[in-house]
């Protein structure tokens, strides 16, 4: 069952989205070579609290941290660790999800630490543009396959691949709810969007093959070939006239 948001719930989504986006922007501005991913987790906890929210990811199915920190070949769901330090040339996705007044905002960006290689710059740019193309396809009457198709076609045209084993999701009172939102597919297929739905668009784009595997910790997803992966995420409301991004950077 896909829940539709009332106008007052949509307003709560805007507020949660703004909080998540503000935390992500502030934490992003603090990143330095030498900083540990555990320190990033601390910053996210503090800033989320300052904004009156709680970190939605902390304890989610037992997830042990407030934020996912996914560096280089880590695709998503990386667990912050005191021994994991940012280095020059690394790329790192920071995925912030904030619960505020009962609703969630979910957003991520991949940051480049210092000067990155052309390969790193490429995969980061393709992931960002793929996300933005997907967002622009959101409107009432559009189908999930339309969104997946624009993302997949763009990423593959740029010589990258799109992860298939994980996708975006409905969001609202729960961080993860129906529907599942694939980042690949064929236009004209799949669920039809309606005003009042809220979904995330969060393509994971790999420099090499799309295959991924999970580490023994039960969370961390890495590329099977060990090559770089990047991701960007927005929470998007379907409106009568098109869409509204709740997690636009302040």
**Binding interface with Co ion (CB under 5 A):** 95, 106, 200, 233
Phi, psi of 79 (to 5 degrees): -95, 125
Window 79-98: residues binding ligand MF3 (CB under 6 A): 95, 97
* Residue 233 touches ligand MF3, criterion: CB under 6 A: yes
Count the Cβ atoms, other than its own, within 10 Å of residue 165: 12
Q: Report, in Å, the least distance between residue 77 CB and ligand MF3.
A: 4
Beta bridge partners of 213: 222
Whether the link from the prior residue into 72 is cis, omega within 30° of 0, is no
CB of 63 to ligand MF3, least distance (A): 3
Residue 26 binds ligand MF3 (CB under 6 A): no
Q: How far is the CB of 7 from ligand MF3 (least distance, A)?
A: 25
Least distance in Å: CB of 191 to Co ion? 17
SS3 state of residue 229: strand
- Contacts with ligand MF3 by CB under 6 A: the residue count is 13
Task: Report how far Cα 188 is from the mean position of its chain's Cα atoms.
Answer: 25
What is the Cα 179 distance to its own chain's centre? 16
Phi, psi of 38, deg, nearest 5: -65, -35
Q: Which of residues 201-220 bind ligand MF3 (CB under 6 A)?
A: 202, 219
Gap between the Cα atoms of 153 and 210, Å rounded: 14
Q: Is 57 in the site for ligand MF3 (CB under 6 A)?
A: yes
Q: Let me know: does 78 contact 206? Beta carbons within 8 Å.
A: no
- What, of Co ion, ligand MF3, none, does residue 77 touch, CB below 5 to 8 Å by kind? ligand MF3
What is the contact surface with ligand MF3 in residues (CB under 6 A)?
Answer: 57, 60-61, 63, 68, 77, 95, 97, 106, 200, 202, 219, 233
């Amino acid at each position: 069952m896909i829940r539709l948001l009332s106008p007052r719930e949509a307003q709560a989504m805007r507020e949660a989205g703004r909080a998540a986006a503000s935390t992500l922007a502030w934490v992003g501005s603090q990143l330095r070579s030498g900083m540990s991913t555990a320190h990033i987790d601390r910053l996210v906890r503090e800033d989320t609290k300052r904004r009156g929210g709680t970190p939605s990811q902390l304890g989610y199915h037992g997830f042990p941290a407030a934020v996912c920190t996914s560096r280089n070949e880590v695709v998503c769901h990386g667990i912050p660790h005191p021994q994991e330090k940012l280095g020059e040339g690394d790329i790192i996705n920071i995925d912030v999800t904030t619960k505020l007044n009962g609703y969630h905002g979910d957003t991520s960006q991949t940051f480049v630490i210092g000067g990155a290689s052309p390969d790193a710059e490429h995969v980061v740019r393709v992931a960002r543009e793929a996300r933005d193309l997907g967002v622009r396809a959101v409107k009432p009457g559009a189908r999930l396959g339309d969104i997946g198709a624009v993302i997949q076609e763009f990423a593959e045209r740029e010589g990258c691949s799109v992860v298939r084993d994980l996708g975006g999701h409905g969001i609202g009172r729960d961080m993860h709810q129906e529907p599942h939102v694939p980042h690949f597919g064929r236009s004209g297929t799949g669920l039809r969007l309606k005003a009042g739905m809220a979904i995330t668009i969060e393509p994971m784009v790999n420099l090499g093959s799309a295959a991924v595997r999970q580490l023994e910790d039960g969370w961390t997803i890495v590329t099977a070939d060990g090559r770089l992966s990047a991701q960007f995420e927005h929470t998007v409301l379907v409106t009568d006239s098109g869409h509204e991004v709740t997690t636009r950077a302040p």
